[in-house]
Amino acid sequence: MEVSKMEEPGIQKLITCAKELEDLVIDPQISVPNVIVWMLVDREAVAFAKIPVSEITFSTNEMRSGIDCGKLKTIYFKWIKQKRNNRKLMEQTMPSVLQARLWFGLSEYRQFWEHSLAPGKMKYFAELFVNEKRKLLSSTFTPTRLLYFF
């Protein structure tokens, strides 16, 4: 297929726009840090796994939910670089694999989390972070409504 000289700048502009849209798809300025899961041995961290919050964030709109929200996810741990004699072993092996169902959302949407577990039952291992916010011209702080499930 031959492209005329008139159409070439238009195609280049479309390619540039497509690249800019791809850059906007994942916002690197998310204010919530990644979820980090640690593997401890004798109270010492030996391995970790990092899970982006954007992958497990819940929204009532299916298109805005994270790709792994409420789904069984296989998490592969990585060794923490340590000064040990078994460095070759650490390069050739994987410390651990974890299968977990992760969900990150507002506490008012807890019923959606419980529904994703059906027919199983949930034992809550939840951690509540109370972040406080201040209104623009006020001196008092009020708690936010976030609840994080791990």
> Residues near 11 by Cβ (< 8 Å), separated by ≥ 6?
3
Give the pLDDT of residue 115: 79
Cα distance between residue 39 and residue 80, in whole Å: 10
Query: Is 90:39 a contact under the CB 8 Å cutoff?
Result: no
Per-residue pLDDT, averaged over 43-65, amounts to 88
C-alpha angle 74-78-80 in degrees, rounded to nearest 5: 150
Report for 49-63, 118-132, 136-150: range of highest mean pLDDT:
49-63
pTM exceeds 0.85, yes or no = no
pLDDT tens track for 60-97: 888 888 899 888 899 999 888 766 666 666 666 778 89
